[in-house]
Amino acid sequence: MTLVAERPNVNILLGNGNLATEVDNADGLAIIVIGAPVGYVLSETLLYSKRGAQLAGATEADDVTNAALVYEHIQDFYTEAGDGTPLRVLLVPAATTLVQLFTPGHATNTALLNKLKAENGKMRLLGVALNPAAAEVAGPTGITADLLTAIPLAQAFADAEFDAFRPLDIVLEGRLFTGTTTNAYDLRTLEAPSVAVTIGRDSLRAAALVTAGIAVASKYAQVGKVLGRLSAMPVQRSIGRVKSGKLAGITAAELSGGKLVTELSDGKGGDLDILYNKGYIFPLIHSGRDGFFYNGDATCTARTDDYAFIKLSRTIHTAARIARATYLLELLDDVDVDPVTGYLSAIQVASFQNELRKALEDGMGTNISSVTVFVDPKQNVLSTSTIKALVTIVPKGSAEHIEATVQYDNPFKTAS
C-alpha cells in the first residue's frame, strides 16, 4: 500500500460553540461579482474610486446602455467605503445564477476561484450582485429558489477557501424579496456562518434606475453599499453601529420587492423584529435619529453559533490569518525537544506561545478583548512532526440591547 503524505504546512482549525450566546486596512479588501452583458467590459478591474470606475468603462450611461447595474454597485460601494479603498471587480455573464457561481466546475465558479488565487489570499470580503436574464419569481417564503439553493453552496465555497488559507465573508444580493415577514424563510436555519443576505435599497434610486430603462433594477438590493460599509469598518464592528453615521444616499428605504420599510410594523415582535431574527440585513429608522441605519450584520446561521454575525466571523478570520502568517515562518524549522521525555522543550513551548500571542495582540489589539495561546508541552513531535496550538479569543461585546429606566422623583418625599 502506498501512503500519500501531505506536504509540510500550517493548518488552522476553527473552534465553535464556546460563546454560549443567547437564542482602512487589509481586513477591508473586497471583491464584487456582478452580472453584465458580454459587451460590458472594464479596462481595469482593480478600482480605487468612482472616478476610476468611470475611466475603466463603467458609468451610469454604460449601465443604461447595457441594462445592467455594474456602475451602480460600484458607486454604492464607494459611497460607504470612500475613495482610495481598493475594490476588485469580476464581471460574469448576465444570465449567471447564484447556484452556477458557487457550483464547482461551472465556468463562472472557475473564474472566481482563479481570481481569488491570483490575489493570493488578499481578498477578505466577497459581494455578489447578479442580474439573471431568466424571469425571477420569489416564492411564498420571500426569496428566490436560486438564492435559497445557493446559500449552502456559498458556505461550501467559503469553507474551501478557508481550507486554502483564504478566509472569506460573503454577502449575497437578496433580490425580489416579497411575501409576508411571517412567511419569510428563516435564514438562521441554514448553517452558513460565512454568508449574509441583504434585501434593502433606496426606493427613489430604484425607481430612477427603472425609469432610465434598467428593468433589472426593479428587483435589486444594494449589495455594494453593504460591502462598502463592511470594508470601512474594523472587523469587530457591526455595520449597524449608529455612531458610524447614517447610510448615505438612502432617503426612503425599501425591501427589494418594493415594500417600504416604513410600512412594516416596528413594535415589539413586529415585522422589523421578525426579519431581524430571521437573519436579513436591511436599512431601518431609529426613532429620534435622522436617516437610515442597517439593522445589524446577521449571517445565515443560528444565533447560538459563535459566528452568527459578520463581525464575529471577520474577527476569527483575521485571527486565523495572523496565526498562519506567524507560524508559517516556523515551518520545517528545527524544534528543540526535552532529551529525557522527547516532548517539546519548555523554552520551545514558551517561544511558540509568546510569538503568536504577541502577533495577535499587535495585529488585533483594538479588535478583541483578549487572547491566550496554549501549546501543550506533551506533544510527541519526534513521532508526529506536528505541533498544535490552541488560540482562545475573547471578542468585543456589542451593545445590541440597552435598557434605561426613566422615572420621576419627589424630593419632598425624601426630605420628610
| pLDDT tens sequence across 22-81 | 445 688 899 999 999 999 999 999 999 999 999 999 999 999 999 999 999 999 999 999
Shared domain check, 340 and 258: no
Give the domain-ending residue among 282, 301, 320. Answer: 301
Q: What is the pLDDT of residue 22?
A: 44
Q: What is the pLDDT of residue 129?
A: 97
Q: Are 125 and 28 in contact (CB under 8 A)?
A: yes
Model confidence, pTM = 0.91
Shared domain check, 143 and 74: yes
CA-CA distance, 95 to 131, in Å (whole number)? 7
Average pLDDT over residues 342-356: 93
Q: What's the pLDDT tens digit per position in 165-206?
A: 999 999 999 999 998 899 999 999 999 999 999 999 999 999
* Cα-to-chain-centroid distance, residue 15: 19
Band (pLDDT 50/70/90 cuts) for residue 217 is: very high
Shared domain check, 76 and 204: yes
pLDDT at 273 over 90: yes
Band (pLDDT 50/70/90 cuts) for residue 1 is: very low
Q: What's the pLDDT tens digit per position in 225-240?
A: 999 999 999 999 999 9
Shared domain check, 262 and 343: no
Give the domain-ending residue among 301, 321, 351. Answer: 301
Give strand pairing partners of 91: 34
* Cα-to-chain-centroid distance, residue 201: 18
pLDDT at 402 over 60: no
| Host domain of residue 343 | 335-395
pLDDT at 394 over 70: yes
Shared domain check, 358 and 273: no
